[in-house]
Amino acid sequence: MDILRFATAGSVDDGKSTLIGRLLYDSKSIFEDQLEAVEKTSADRGEEYTNLALLTDGLRAEREQGITIDVAYRYFATPRRKFIIADTPGHIQYTRNMVTGASTADLAIILVDARKGILEQSRRHAFLTTLLRVPHLVVAVNKMDLVDYSQEVFNSIKDEFTEFASKLQIGDLTFIPISALNGDNVVERSVNTPWYDGSSLLHHLEHVHIASDRNLVDVRFPVQYVIRPYKSTDPALHDYRGYAGQVAGGVLKPGDEVMHLPSGLSTRITHIEGPNGPVNEAYPPMAVTLRLADEIDISRGDMICRPNNQPKVAQDLDALVCWMSEARSLTPRSKLVLKHTTRTARAMVKDLHYQLDVNTLHRNEDATELKLNEIGRITLRVTQPLFIDDYGRNRLTGGFILIDEATNSTVAAGMITA
């Protein structure tokens, strides 16, 4: 079975945590003791119903305030597919958490309160998901039970969001009317929306096609580790040299001609080994070990690609970054550590071009710094060449993080615009 990673987003109190709790509950993916604990907590709080949002809101502050603060990851599976859920917060001050949760997602669910319609935070999160190149977007119009399951309300929100989405780069957009509290159209189709002829949310999640979302054209294999086992009693291991890593793009097969960067030397793949033995082909996001026909000096941080399809080699990077640090701000001449695929280098901010207002999409070209949760476009200079692609073409070779050298904390996430 393949794995679908999806993130929930939307405004505060739109029901993100409740929706995930309903998905877990109706798909029978929670244990009895978990349910009993949630029921007890709901009763202690004087609530007349089982508050399924408590399944994901685990922090004490989250339960006290009834909001999501940190990204909560949950896992469940159906007979068709495995799922990894990232429940992201809706508050503007937690934009960095939302960016973190959505950065690896195949699909994003943006919840909209049927009573309130499209809010500023709904637009912000829709923009952020397109900025992060999440391939599939589902707009779940929640709390339909509070508007008497009105088709007119649903169509009005659908039309308004479609108009807004025309300004963004959204590849796949789906609208589903739901009630997370009552379970309408979450796991099973609801009799309360006879006018809706689409699938339930879970059915859509099970059947959305994600295999073609990954870049299967550009071969990219960042080397993570060189395997040299030594065992004097086994002659086969005397000359063993394998290069381990995660396939970031393309399809690799034994016999394929490949090129090593930065040397530019070409060779052929002789064997591909997975966790359970030899494999006939490797593709994203498989973790494999490559064995090559020629002995080339290859080390961590190097790249294996095709001779006629190479990534861009650069030391000057143009990128959009989301600043995540409260302790310091990003300013021109800031010195940081950059981690890109398996390569780490020192970097300096050459220029801050503008700070982007994610609500209005306005570019503030007079900005002199980026503060917590702000997004802007910068130019970086790194100490050694990086093998990069545009983030829109490959999210793995087009993304990076920035690290504060003094504290070793991650201070920014970046998307290369090559």
What's the CA gap between 164 and 159, in Å, rounded? 9
Q: Residue type at 142?
A: N
What's the CA gap between 210 and 136, in Å, rounded? 9
Tokens read off for 404: 């504060």
Would you place residue 288 in the very low, low, confident or very high pLDDT band (cuts 50, 70, 90)?
Answer: very high
pLDDT in tens, 207-254: 999 877 888 999 999 999 999 887 666 666 667 889 999 999 999 999
Torsion region of 411: left, alpha or beta (phi above 0 gives left; psi -120 to 50 gives alpha): alpha
What's the CA gap between 147 and 129, in Å, rounded? 28
Strand locations in 200-331 (E) = 221-222, 225-227, 242-246, 257-261, 266-274, 277-278, 287-292, 303-305, 312-323
For residues 246-267, give the mean pLDDT: 96
Query: Pick from 346, 341, 344: which is nearest to 395 by CA?
Result: 341
pLDDT in tens, 63-105: 344 444 456 678 888 888 999 988 776 566 667 777 888 888 9
Tokens read off for 120: 């500023």
DSSP 327: S
What's the CA gap between 352 and 355, in Å, rounded? 8
Beta-bridged to residue 317, according to DSSP, are 380
Please tell me the least confidently modeled range out of 29-33, 143-147, 219-223, 272-276: 29-33
Strand, helix or coil for residue 77: strand
Answer for the pair 353, 332: CB distance below 8 angstroms, yes or no.
no
pLDDT at residue 68 in the model: 41
pLDDT in tens, 335-374: 999 999 999 999 999 999 999 887 777 899 999 999 988 8
Cis upstream peptide for 285 (omega within 30°): yes
Answer for the pair 332, 282: CB distance below 8 angstroms, yes or no.
no
Q: What angle do CA 147, 150, 156 make, to 5 degrees?
A: 100
Percent of the chain with pLDDT over 70: 85
Answer for the pair 349, 332: CB distance below 8 angstroms, yes or no.
yes
pLDDT at residue 69 in the model: 43
**Model confidence, pTM:** 0.81
For residues 1-26, give the mean pLDDT: 79
What's the CA gap between 110 and 333, in Å, rounded? 37
Query: Pick from 386, 22, 2: which is nearest to 220 by CA?
Result: 386
pLDDT at residue 256 in the model: 96
Task: Please report the DSSP string for 78-143 in residue order.
Answer: -SS-EEEEEE---SGGGHHHHHHHHTT-SEEEEEEETTT-S-HHHHHHHHHHHHTT-SEEEEEEE-
In the numeric block, the tokens 């994003």 are attached to: 108
What's the CA gap between 390 and 396, in Å, rounded? 10
Higher pLDDT, 168 or 226: 226
pLDDT in tens, 37-69: 666 765 666 665 555 556 554 534 433 444 444
| CA distance to 41, 56, 58, 119, 187, per residue, from 34 (Å) | 11, 11, 12, 33, 20
